[in-house]
Amino acid sequence: MTLLKTDSTKKTTLIGAYVSNRVHNYMTLFSLAKGISKSRIFNELFLDWISRQKKIDKDVDLINQIIARVQKTRNKPGNRKMDLGIFKDTIEKELTKKGVADDYIAIIISEII
């Protein structure tokens, strides 16, 4: 029987992160005292962070930074010998595994030369 039920949200994705004991302890107390889930607390924190961060790095800026990193990886001697199609497939699988949205993956893959 749950006495201190917290709100739950739908349409969510699990992200894994380690936090210090201090953060965990305070969030647990706060969550129980206010009757809201830790997920909701983190979500509100992240939304606030995203709104501030997007003023610095827009989605397109981040995508372009990723494209630059992929191109740098592509230009390494061992990777240059790899067939372009195989390289793109490898990058696509890695981005998918990391949880990058399909539309972003398509943009990134289309820019690999």
* Band of pLDDT at residue 10, cut at 50, 70 and 90: low
Task: Identify which has the larger pLDDT, 9 or 99.
Answer: 99
pLDDT at position 13, please? 80
pLDDT at 87: 92
- Total tally of structural domains belonging to the chain: 2
In this predicted structure, the answer to whether residue 58 has a pLDDT above a threshold of 70 is yes
- Residues 42 and 63 occupy one common structural domain: no
Same domain for 76 and 95, yes or no, is: yes
Is residue 36 located within the same domain as residue 75? no
Neighbours of 20 (CB within 10 A): 8
Do 67 and 106 fall into the same domain? Answer: yes
- Domain coverage including residue 67: 59-110
Lookup result for tokens 């992200």: 15
Residue 86 shares a structural domain with residue 103 = yes
Instruction: Give me the mean pLDDT over the 28-52 stretch.
Output: 93
Let me know whether 71 and 91 are in one domain.
yes
More confident residue, 52 or 79: 52
46: in domain = yes
Q: How is residue 74 written in tokens?
A: 């592509």
Give me the pLDDT at residue 28, please: 94
Question: Looking at residue 1, what is its pLDDT?
Answer: 44
